[in-house]
Structure 1
Amino acid sequence: MIHHPRPNPIAFSIGPVDIHWYGIMYVLAFALFIILGRVRIRTQPHVQAQGWTNSDLDDMLFYGMLGVVIGGRLGEVLFYRPDYYFSHPLEILQTWHGGMSYHGGFIGVLIAMALWASKRKRNLLDVYDFIAPMVPIGYACGRLGNFINAELPGRMADPSLPWAMEWPGITDHLVHPSPLYQMLIDGILVFVIMWIFARKPRPRLAVGALYTTLYGCARFFTEWFRVPDWETHVFGLPITSGQVLSLPMIVAGLIMLFWAYSSGNRQPAHA
């Protein structure tokens, strides 16, 4: 058995302002996006050939931050706990307590990138291909923030499991540390695969499509170990809220992958 470390969610305070670990994880995610993006621009010739610059990256980050925060919070409100938040509307703004939906953030970032692409006269598919390899590591940071906050507890675990964990607020059984599963599988593992795949030139949309597919599949798997926000049944089989939201990603990702490789749509150098 492993005990949850129960760290203080507040990392430090500056006068009356509390700085939460959850917020620090988001800052770290955005910083890693910039660092990894600059590595791609500097070391990958096919990325350089498309004319990507550090200035593009910095400008894109502002739009992406808005998409993640606004989309992620609205997704949490609308997809998972609408009754609660509509009864407590002021808590919608209290993001430092956690409660961000990945799927809502994903949609928010797509909208934000569409606005940025329109502003900079870029093909949206090229933008998606460029940012996709940097996204999973940011997701991993968010899941670490969930773990620090003792959010998203896992399902009951066999006590013989070496990493079965005692979880704050759960006294009668041990659980799977599901935020760590999702950090490692949905985040770090998907990042490694995406980074390797994106190092070589691929057909337009192939990189973005692979990320959509991989994340959907990884999330569908790790959801089995997490206590669902809500659960339904399809053909008599239980399916969680996260799996319901991941299925469209898997289907869309596979369709996009087929289109990318069947169309021979190579990414051109940026004029």
Structure 2
Amino acid sequence: MKLVEKLWDQMIDYITNIELWISLGQGILKICLIFIIAIAFIRIGKLAISKVFLFRGKAPIRISERRENTLARLLENILTYVVYFIAIIMVLETLGLDVAALLAGAGIVGLAVGFGAQNLVRDIITGFFIIFEDQFSVGDYVRISSFEGTVEEIGLRTSKIKSWTGEVHILPNGNITEVTNFSLNNSIAVVDISIAYESDIPKVERIIQELLIEIQDKYEDIIHPPELLGVQNLVASEVTLRVTCEVAPMKHFHIARMLRKDIKIRLSEKGIEIPYPRMVMYNRKEEVS
């Protein structure tokens, strides 16, 4: 019983020790201040990075906007990693841990777990070469494996692809083996126009040619004047004419829709109808001898 009472008294003395609570409160306050300062530093750093690239954008000699957006996101990513790493080290020191011995031990442990971190190292190295070789940049429209969309972010370990329906796909850089980039070169808008077999094909071609001459200055995304290639296909109830146009990267969807609209309106004005399914019925009467 005396031993229990002694342990109880020691526990009460320990809990009621004012210096303990003062020290604990100071530690919690320091940890909170460390994270507050870290968050503030990250925000100020990101603002400074955006300002630097904003001023650089006005310089006479500059890199492409694609590269600037990619480098800005990458620098923000690196800044976040570095600041949080330093903050964690400071928190460990506040808790009374020997950080130097911990880092030395981490180096030894790192050799043991190095084989297990191969995927992480591969992701970082692949991410570096993606940026260095300019395979794709922030804002590009790409297809990676079965994912297709706009590049939202390229980090040290992962890349984020946002599809046109809003989903964000996060891909480890090490898994990116094949990339189709739709934003590097100009796109081609392709428009197929169907007319009835009864239509005067040379007349329709002449009408479309006159319209294409007017359209080339109507849309600023058109790089070269639209071209009528001629008859593309013959099917059961219609003749298909094809129009192509070289446009700015990823503007082919918009220009194709505008071309279809303009061509349809002009053909309707000239009395050229779009074909529709028809059925012809024959009634054969057998002669009775």
Q: TM-score, normalised by structure 2?
A: 0.25
Q: Which has the higher contact order (CA 8 A, sep 6+)?
A: 1
Q: TM-score, normalised by structure 1?
A: 0.26
Between Structure 1 and Structure 2, the one with more strand by share is 2
Between Structure 1 and Structure 2, the one with more helix by share is 1
